[in-house]
Amino acid sequence: MQHVRTSGPGDQAAALDVAGVSHSYGSKRALNDVSFSIAPTTFTVLLGLNGAGKTTLFSLISHLYDTRRGSIRIFGHDVSRASGEALRRVGIVFQARTLDLDLSVHQNLSYHASLHGIGAGEARQRIAALLDIVDMPGRQHDKARSLSGGQMRRIEIARALLHRPSLLLLDEATVGLDIQSRAGILATIRKLVETEGIGVLWATHLIDEVEDGDHVVVLRQGGLVAKGKVADVVRTSGAGSIRDAFSRLSRIDAAGNAEISP
């Protein structure tokens, strides 16, 4: 993986720079000294089995939790010290469903547009354009309750893009969806990298969501066990495929210890 380091905020900075981040819930260590960077306009898969620490990392990046050990920078802006500047550049789709089911698609989106200071006229145009991008054209007046799980996810993706972020984070965005909806949403997000030039961090435990050209960051029990381009991770782990590499990298012995050192 390309590792971009800069001394301060700016366009040349990494889209996301996670440096030496640890987090504990009481005595439970959920993340342990995790460091990686993602470059702008790349699709990076954050891979980890249940409990690997993906959601904890997203909670720190989105400043739901304060980062007490290590630092997180978004385009050079420190999430703890300049959270407004940092978070303005990021859109987030959380694992849990967050649409208000009693509101229409437009009402759900325009509420968030106003939170971002987008006026009503601009919001209307932006919403129409985003519904096209997420393959839900003209669905402004549908009640959220009437949408399928996959369609709701698409609206949540549109909502995360309202303020034109340069980095999009998605936490298990396809969980609970059928195989066709999963593939469709993944294709939509991959296209966004090309057409909108945004960087994406896609968290999943599903190895079939990884493609050969992707970058991957692999977490196991809160530790980073691999990072880089798929081909590099496959080679360094001595595996024959990314599926095989993930299986080896995620392996835990009977005593609950990791079998392969990072």
Ligand X SMILES: Nc1ncnc2c1ncn2[C@@H]1O[C@H](COP(=O)(O)OP(=O)(O)OP(=O)(O)O)[C@@H](O)[C@H]1O
Residues 194-213 that bind ligand X (CB under 6 A): 205
| Positions 25 through 64 that interact with ligand X (CB under 6 A) | 25, 28, 30, 48, 50-56
Q: Which is nearer to ligand X, 25 or 180 (CB)?
A: 25
Stretch that binds ligand X, among 1-9, 24-32, 135-143, 234-242 (CB under 6 A): 24-32
CB of 112 to ligand X, least distance (A): 24
55 versus 108: smaller Cβ distance to ligand X: 55
The smaller minimum CB distance to ligand X, of residues 51 and 149, is found at 51
Does 220 engage in binding with ligand X (CB under 6 A)?
no
Least separation in angstroms between CB 60 and ligand X: 10
**Footprint of ligand X on residues 126-185 (CB under 6 A)?**
172
- Could you tell me where the DSSP H helices lie in 162-253? 179-196, 230-236, 242-249
Q: How far apart are CA 27 and CA 135, in angstroms?
A: 45
**Nearest approach, Cβ of 22 to ligand X (angstroms)?**
12
> At its nearest, how many Å lie between ligand X and the CB of residue 32?
11
- Supply 145's token pair: 């309750």
For ligand X, the closer of residues 35 and 140 by Cβ is 35
Q: Which residues of 118-132 are buried (b: 16+ CB within 10 A; e: fewer)?
A: beeeebbebbeebbe
CB 28 within 8 A of CB 185: no
Tokens 């609950």 sit on residue: 256
Fill in the amino acid letter for 82. Answer: A
The long-range contacts involving 227-233, CB below 8 angstroms and separated by at least 24 positions, are 227/1, 227/36, 228/1, 229/1, 232/1
Question: Shortest approach of ligand X to residue 119 CB, angstroms?
Answer: 36
How far apart (Å, rounded) are the C-alpha atoms in residues 13 and 6? 6
Which positions touch ligand X (CB under 6 A)? 25, 28, 30, 48, 50-56, 172, 205
